[in-house]
């Protein structure tokens, strides 16, 4: 009984290994409508509807890229 159970367990592990782990893409895919902008947090690809920050310095970066950060925390076109 133990030998049969061990065989089934090894076969199941082999099937899982054959499928392989789920992997994410190496880099996120940028939207076609995004705008590259230099923000205090680094270079970002900004698009309308994305989350934005109300921290100091970000408002000017959003303005330079043609966006504004609404009160609900999402970017919109100016």
Q: Supply the range of the domain harboring residue 14.
A: 2-77
Short-list 36, 42, 41, 43, CA closest to 66 = 36
Percent of the chain exceeding pLDDT 90 equals 55
What residues have CB less than 8 Å from 43, skipping those under 6 apart?
36, 37
Please compute the mean of the pLDDT values over residues 40-64 and round it to a whole number: 94
Domain count, the chain: 1
Please compute the mean of the pLDDT values over residues 35-61 and round it to a whole number: 93
pLDDT score, position 53: 94
Please compute the mean of the pLDDT values over residues 39-65 and round it to a whole number: 94
pLDDT score, position 9: 56
- Distance between CA atoms of 71 and 20, rounded to whole angstroms? 44
On whether the pTM is more than 0.75, the answer is: no
DSSP string computed for 23-40: ---SSPPPPTT-EEEEET
pLDDT score, position 33: 78
Residues 76, 48: contact at Cβ < 8 Å? yes
């Amino acid at each position: 009984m133990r030998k049969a159970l061990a065989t089934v367990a090894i076969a199941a592990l082999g099937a899982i290994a054959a499928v392989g782990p789920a992997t994410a893409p190496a880099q996120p895919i940028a939207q076609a409508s995004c705008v590259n902008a230099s923000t205090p947090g680094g270079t970002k690809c900004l698009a309308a509807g994305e989350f934005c920050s109300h921290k100091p310095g970000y408002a000017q970066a959003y303005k330079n890229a043609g966006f504004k950060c609404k009160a609900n925390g999402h970017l919109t076109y100016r």
